[in-house]
A = this chain, B = another copy of it.
Amino acid sequence: MTDQQQSGPAARPSRRLFLGGALGAAGAVAVGVGGFAAGRATADDSADPTASQVPFYGAHQAGISTAAQDRLAFAAFDVTATDRLELMQMLGTWAAAASRMALGEQVGPVETHPQAPPADTGEAMGLHAANLTITVGFGPSLFDDRFGLAKHRPEALEQLPPLPGDLLRRELSFGDIGVQACADDPQVAFHAIRNFARIARGTAVMRWSQLGFGKTASTSTAQATPRNLMGFKDGTRNIKNSDTKDLDEYVWVGDETDQPWMKGGSYLVTRRIRMLIENWDTDYLADQERVFGRIKDSGAPLTGTHEFDTPDFKAVKDGKPVIDTRAHIRLAAHENNDGVRILRRGYSYTDGIDPVTGYLDAGLFFIAYQKNAHDQFVCLQHRLGQHDNLNEYIQHTSSALFACPPGLSGPGDWWGKALFEA
């Protein structure tokens, strides 16, 4: 039944799509389906393809300063191909596919030739774009001698050092390429990752993946601050997408980079932070608030009354600091870290039940973007991992670092084009 799978006329339409070269999405698909006429329109009548679209092309990749969407699907891939051209083709095909999915369209027609597999897996047909963004980055391991990229590795793309509190599972960490798909509909985000995996077939395999069901940090002043699985508002002091000065200072790679292909890009750190929520849930309120340094209900710092009140780290009551010396917000605050800031856009996750303890395996899939992860995330985590009150309730079980290049300029551009042509 699947004897067509290697040789069918459109078994890899999207590969051919890339080989068509610098084509726009519409033109590319005409190439993709070869000589076969599309039999039926693929758009569901109920879909409004212009609703909830985030522009795919631009100076920076979407999905970084974009207002955080509600749901996440993330995957790390390892490249299995040994041929540089194959890898380039995959990245180009991904870009063409992503440009279409960002419009709420399918990767290609579902109804093409009866003797060929559909060009799209189909489960997002009839769904809106749901503000889908797809953000791609390259891990340190891609810059070995397989693809001739070693000399183009940025100094900042050194693997993260061991950090206090690490309990990393290697099979859930690292990876040659990271892909973050965010959308307000989880099926749209999943569809993007799945079709990337399908296009990657024969070139790269998924190393690990992670779903996130609820955003835990707002990146826009128009968004209410969401709560993490500890029930606290998270990301109150996050960089917002209207803070263009902060974005330039802390998030976007600038002229300081040793690798011009990364200018306008950003470094992505992911950490799967399991929360021991059953223990947390038995802790009493005053202690929970001491751990964070915030009031649980309102989200206000313990020295304030409103969520966005600036914490007063010097405030003292009865001879003790009001915000504990090891409170999370004190240790994470830029005031106490030489001004260092990061852009967070993590998601709550749950992956069922820990077979050993019978407890929920749930927590935060932490995502942060920054100009230099070693100067920013690593410094913060060194401090948090050693001293944070939260450490009693969390375990870092996965870690990865990816260099996300700048945005794609338009049809024909693809992730890493400047890198491979450098």
Query: Is A197 in contact with chain B by the CB < 8 A criterion?
Result: yes
Q: Is B115 within 8 A of A282, CB to CB?
A: no
Question: Is A240 an interface position by the 8 A CB rule?
Answer: no
Q: Among B2, B11, B231, which residue has its beta carbon within 8 angstroms of that of A110?
A: B231
* A252–chain B nearest beta-carbon distance, Å: 31
Measured between beta carbons, the chain B residues less than 8 angstroms from A214 are 123, 185-187, 190
Contacts of A185 in B (CB 8 A): 214
Give the number of copies in the complex.
Answer: 2
**Contact of A121 (CB < 8 Å), options: B213, B281, B353:** B281
Partner of A44, one of B113, B224, B287, B288: B224
A297 touching B111 in the complex, CB below 8 Å, given contacts A231-B125, A351-B352? yes
In the complex with contacts A116-B285, A187-B348, A360-B206, A277-B122 CB distance below 8 A: no
What size tier do the contact residues of chain A reach?
35 or more
Q: A230 contacts the other chain (Cβ, under 8 Å)?
A: yes
Contact (Cβ within 8 A) A213 B231? no
Decide: A113 and B285 in contact? CB cutoff 8 A.
yes
Among B5, B226, B296, contact of A111 (Cβ-Cβ < 8 Å): B296
Is A419 among interface residues, defined by CB-CB distance under 8 A? no
Which residues does chain B contribute within 8 Å of A190, judged by CB atoms?
A: 213-214, 348, 350, 362
A40 — which chain B residues lie within 8 A by C-beta?
Answer: 295, 297-298
Could you say which of A114, A122, A194 has the most chain B C-beta atoms within 10 Å of its C-beta? A122
A397 to chain B, nearest CB (A): 13
Q: Which residues of B contact A350 (CB under 8 A)?
A: 190, 209, 211
State the CA gap A350–B40 with chains docked (Å). Answer: 30
Q: Which residues of B contact A348 (CB under 8 A)?
A: 123, 187, 190
Chain B nearest CB from A109 CB (Å) reads 9
Q: Does A162 contact B (CB under 8 A)?
A: no
A203 within 8 A of B: no
CA distance A364 to B414 in the complex (A): 34
Interchain Cβ contacts under 8 Å between A and B, 14 examples: A1-B283, A4-B282, A40-B298, A111-B296, A113-B284, A118-B285, A123-B214, A123-B230, A125-B227, A190-B213, A194-B362, A206-B360, A209-B353, A351-B352
